A = this chain, B = another copy of it.
């Protein structure tokens, strides 16, 4: 009786058009190893044979099996991108800049959602580890501590927050708020500038931006009037009457969502003499309330930088003397309405 194995093999060799390194070897009259060497750019192959093999590879559109080389420890050419929420405008902008760069370098980005949960990050990370992903981009959030990330130390870029010994890409929260205030106070001569922010539990959007406001006030002798709430339109709307009690001529908002809420309130009350300034911008804010002054945190630049950085990291085989650094993306003031 003929073993089934042989039958299957025969069928395969006829019907399946999936070429392997072996087939290429046969077709170009060399051994598997040589083909492998050609593929991996081994300098020890003769020019002539290389050309010969390359020709066959091109002709048959051969691509080595990803799974097989993954098994040999070559990495899957996979990069995980863990965002907090898929519908976060800011992260979206950054991610959209990353994707083409990863594609360019033949990496397959796989996007996952943490929903601000540490356990989700852990889950995704172990999934990626199993899959032998090559690198990760993680959008950090309040509560995420670095011990979860240790395995990825030299193959990850952390966004929006700075961790020691990790490569991070941060936004210039302090600079953004300061520039906004600088423009309002020094250029536009506003004296009474209030602030609506986010609770200090949130490190960057909350605490840092608020502190920047306080610091500026102290330096320029402005009496601070600040209210902190949640990260939503509603919060901006609800805090509006409170902050107006101090009769400000300008109000700085920690986020564009808050600015949207505030603007709605001001519009309803016909208080259109008050200048609204916001960290961050959106198409909608710009459309609905075009007079709003805003400063871009540079999510697109951050995304581009992060992707390039990660790829550079992964290309170094062993980077002993590569120091993990935090890059701060400079903010850019919107001058169209100034």
Chain A contacts to B: CB under 8 angstroms:
63, 65-68, 70-71, 76, 86-87, 89, 92-93, 95-96, 99, 103, 108-113, 127, 130-132, 233-234, 237, 260-261, 264, 267, 283-284, 287-288
The residue of chain B having its C-beta at the shortest distance from the C-beta of A85 within the complex is B96
20 other A-B residue contacts (CB within 8 Å) besides A67-B132, A110-B110: A65-B71, A66-B130, A66-B131, A67-B67, A67-B68, A67-B76, A68-B71, A86-B92, A86-B95, A87-B89, A96-B113, A103-B127, A109-B110, A111-B111, A233-B283, A233-B287, A237-B287, A264-B287, A264-B288, A267-B267
Residue from B66, B96, B111, B237 within 8 A of A132 (CB atoms): B66
**Chain B residues near A112 (CB, 8 Å)?**
99
Q: A317 to nearest B CB, angstroms?
A: 16
Evaluate contact between B287 and A234: CB separation under 8 angstroms: yes
Evaluate contact between A260 and B284: CB separation under 8 angstroms: yes
Alpha-carbon gap, A109 to B68, bound state (A): 20
Alpha-carbon gap, A76 to B68, bound state (A): 11
Alpha-carbon gap, A95 to B260, bound state (A): 27
Alpha-carbon gap, A261 to B283, bound state (A): 12
**Chain B residues near A131 (CB, 8 Å)?**
66-67, 108
Alpha-carbon gap, A112 to B131, bound state (A): 19
What are 5 of the A-B contact pairs (CB < 8 Å)?
A66-B76, A86-B95, A108-B127, A233-B283, A260-B288
Alpha-carbon gap, A93 to B95, bound state (A): 17
The DSSP consensus for interface residues of chain A is helix
In the complex, the count of this chain's copies comes to 2
Evaluate contact between B92 and A87: CB separation under 8 angstroms: yes
**Chain B residues near A93 (CB, 8 Å)?**
87
Alpha-carbon gap, A317 to B288, bound state (A): 53
Evaluate contact between B284 and A284: CB separation under 8 angstroms: yes
Q: A15 to nearest B CB, angstroms?
A: 14
Most buried by B among A65, A108, A130, A283: A108
The residue of chain B having its C-beta at the shortest distance from the C-beta of A99 within the complex is B113
Alpha-carbon gap, A184 to B324, bound state (A): 61
Alpha-carbon gap, A76 to B108, bound state (A): 13
Q: A300 to nearest B CB, angstroms?
A: 12
The residue of chain B having its C-beta at the shortest distance from the C-beta of A108 within the complex is B110
Question: Shortest 3 CB-CB distances between A and B: which pairs?
Answer: A67-B70, A67-B71, A111-B111
**Chain B residues near A110 (CB, 8 Å)?**
108-111
The residue of chain B having its C-beta at the shortest distance from the C-beta of A263 within the complex is B288
The residue of chain B having its C-beta at the shortest distance from the C-beta of A66 within the complex is B131
Residue from B68, B76, B261, B284 within 8 A of A233 (CB atoms): B284
**Chain B residues near A71 (CB, 8 Å)?**
65, 67-68, 71
Alpha-carbon gap, A127 to B110, bound state (A): 13
Q: A177 to nearest B CB, angstroms?
A: 24
Evaluate contact between A288 and B287: CB separation under 8 angstroms: no
Residue from B70, B260, B287 within 8 A of A70 (CB atoms): B70
Alpha-carbon gap, A107 to B138, bound state (A): 20
**Chain B residues near A132 (CB, 8 Å)?**
65-67
**Chain B residues near A288 (CB, 8 Å)?**
233, 260, 264, 288
Alpha-carbon gap, A96 to B68, bound state (A): 31
